[in-house]
């Protein structure tokens, strides 16, 4: 997997620039097309792709998926998980992943190991939080809450 930067070129002016994680430039362009269709530009794929530019920026990194820090901080406070941070390792229902942000439902956005898409996860449902050394900080499995 690689990270790509896509934008639309309008006579040398770049607009709607976004980063994507994909296997190929074509798949990154398809993601950018879908982003543009979300109310920005409603044209068919072949019309949109004519002015689209895409370049590989490197190997995919989970940090590329980090979301709005302010929203994440608000949701941490609301859900009473002040120890959480973007990039933190967690286990949800036994599946290991990394917190990349939060969403409008005040849940966590988590990327599970081996995947590159975010999953909506409740911060207390069968969740274990680990520090950088791999020690358990908080454990919400089976409704038992243990935290330092």
Please return the burial class of 62, using the count of CB atoms within 10 Å of its CB with bins 0-12, 13-18 and 19+. middle
Q: Residue 18 — very low, low, confident or very high, per pLDDT cuts 50/70/90?
A: confident
pLDDT of residue 146: 55
Mean of the per-residue pLDDT values for the chain? 84
pLDDT of residue 83: 95
CB atoms near residue 119 (< 10 Å): 15
Token pair recorded at residue 21? 């994680």
pLDDT at 82 over 90: yes
Q: What is the average pLDDT across 29-39?
A: 79
Q: What is the average pLDDT across 32-61?
A: 77
Tokens 């069968």, located at residue: 126
Residue count (the chain): 148
Q: What is the average pLDDT across 73-79?
A: 94
Q: What is the average pLDDT across 97-114?
A: 90
pLDDT at 26 over 80: yes
């Amino acid at each position: 997997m690689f990270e790509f930067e896509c934008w639309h070129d309008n006579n040398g002016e770049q607009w709607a620039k976004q980063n994507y994680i994909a296997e190929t430039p074509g798949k990154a362009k398809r993601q950018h097309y879908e982003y543009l269709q979300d109310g920005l530009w409603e044209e068919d794929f072949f019309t949109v792709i004519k002015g689209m530019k895409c370049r590989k920026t490197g190997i995919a990194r989970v940090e590329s998926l980090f979301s709005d820090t302010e929203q994440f901080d608000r949701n941490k406070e609301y859900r009473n998980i002040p120890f959480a941070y973007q990039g933190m390792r967690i286990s949800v229902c036994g599946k290991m992943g990394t917190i990349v942000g939060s969403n409008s439902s005040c849940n966590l956005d988590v990327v599970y190991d081996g995947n590159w898409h975010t999953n909506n996860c409740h911060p207390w449902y069968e969740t274990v939080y680990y520090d950088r050394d791999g020690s358990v900080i908080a454990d919400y499995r089976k409704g038992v809450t243990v935290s330092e």
